[in-house]
Chain A
Amino acid sequence: MIEFGFGISPSSRINLDDFDKEKWNKLVQIEPEILQCISCGSCCASCSGGVFQNVSLRSAILNIRNGKTDSAMELLKGCMLCGKCTMVCPRNINTRNLILSIYKTYSEK
């Protein structure tokens, strides 16, 4: 193959047509509260780990809904399950439980 010094760039676009509905439905079944998230960011703002590491439940939920589950898992890696986000969530989501459920659902390959 000829080396041109350039090539097709990967797309950063979210394609909802590729969304894995099966796994999502599984998650929603055990953790229906995930549907209630309004991306307000309270969880991240109060996160004790997020100051030092790239932890974000808000983004993780969004990433899952956008079909980017690997990066969602990355964003939860640093969570220490302290539960501060559970205390502040205005939609009353049991965030700690949700984080564990996300891990459980999406670490099964």
Chain B
Amino acid sequence: MIYEGKKRIWSDYQKEIPDDHYFYVRSCIRQSFFPASEATFLDITRNKLNKDIFETEHHTTCGGIAYHSDTIPQETVMTIIARQFALMKKYGYENYVSSCITSFGLYCETLETWREFPELEAKIADNLKKTCNLEFAKPKFLVHASDLIYKYRDLIASQAKYKLINKYSGKPLRVIEHIGCHYSKMFPSKGVGGAEYPYVLVGMIEAWGGEIVDYPERRHCCGFGFRQYLIQSNRSYSLTNTYKKFESMKPFKPDMIITNCPGCPYFLDRWQYVIAETQGKTYGENGKGVPVFTYEEVAGLVMGYNPWDLGLQTHQVEVEPLLDKMGIPYDPKEKYLGKNGKDLGKPEIVECFNNR
């Protein structure tokens, strides 16, 4: 791999990311998949970096899951989105940051569609007025939350307590970066680094001391793909995509995977268990899986958050081997304690093999 060649492409795909004052919208599924990621994002940006990130309980789903599984029409989803944008305006913001990649892609798609078909935009503005009595607006800047963490990556590095470095060998951790398809594959210019060689997570990994692994199926989808997992009969398709990626990354012996999509970390994490059960294969060291993280979780680890406060106990693949490599202390006894100190109960199946 010629690093300079990638740098040249990265320089072609730089987007403007304002430094501050954002209207934040959450993902539908991340709060249950990775319960502390969004809270960590808000804590880092607001309390550690003193940024103005506003959120309101009045915002809803963007409609993406329904849209991509063909259950609601495009005009409906556009009206939902118009309402989100109108709330941004109502609260005095013009920069919009989305926690979800599906939403981010859909916002990009919607804005592009409106640009191309102004009559449709007018119709949606009318829908919005009739249904919600809100004033139509479009964000001045639309970014994904990983764009913001990317923007703040050096600030985070300057406050870092730990690095993505293996404390036993002193070498950088070998990190797989996986970008959600809807981040830049639809609109390469809307993502940092473009679609073929996205830089958004690479920039974080570099700033925090890790080494990027470029493996053959790097660009491949995790297998989430809505219809692929929503219906059980299609789920083989989802699983096989993940399997293909792990088979491809295996020779590179990755230490961890970092992602920026709601679905990717979930499926890359959980399917490792199914692959182990059905194929008898694992991809990490000592018969374990490869831990998969959201970028907020990794930022949190680097900044010295308690791993259990980051929700890492909800992962299928055990994160402890990675915490050990990074030299992050943790109390195994606290792993399954809730925020209130009460025992949450240990899952029946931990790690990749069913060791009941």
Contact = CB atoms under 8 A, between A and B. Distances in A.
A and B from one assembly?
yes
27 contacts: A1-B277, A1-B278, A2-B278, A4-B235, A4-B274, A5-B232, A5-B233, A5-B235, A6-B232, A6-B233, A6-B235, A6-B236, A6-B239, A7-B236, A7-B239, A7-B278, A8-B236, A8-B239, A8-B240, A8-B243, A8-B275, A8-B278, A8-B279, A9-B236, A9-B239, A9-B240, A11-B240
Interface of B: 232-233, 235-237, 239-240, 243-244, 274-275, 277-279, 354
Given A5-B233, A7-B278, 10 more contacts: A2-B278, A4-B278, A5-B232, A6-B233, A6-B235, A6-B236, A6-B239, A7-B239, A8-B239, A11-B244
Contacts of B239: 6-9
B354 A2 contact: yes
A83 to B, nearest CB: 44
Contacts of A9: 236-237, 239-240
Contacts of B243: 8
A9 B275 CA distance: 12
Nearest to A13: B244
Contact of B277 (A2, A5, A11): A2
Contacts of B354: 2
What 4 A-B pairs have minimum CB-CB distances, sorted nearest first? A6-B235, A6-B236, A9-B240, A9-B236
A9 B232 CA distance: 13
Nearest to B238: A6
Contacts of A4: 235, 274, 277-278
Nearest to B277: A2
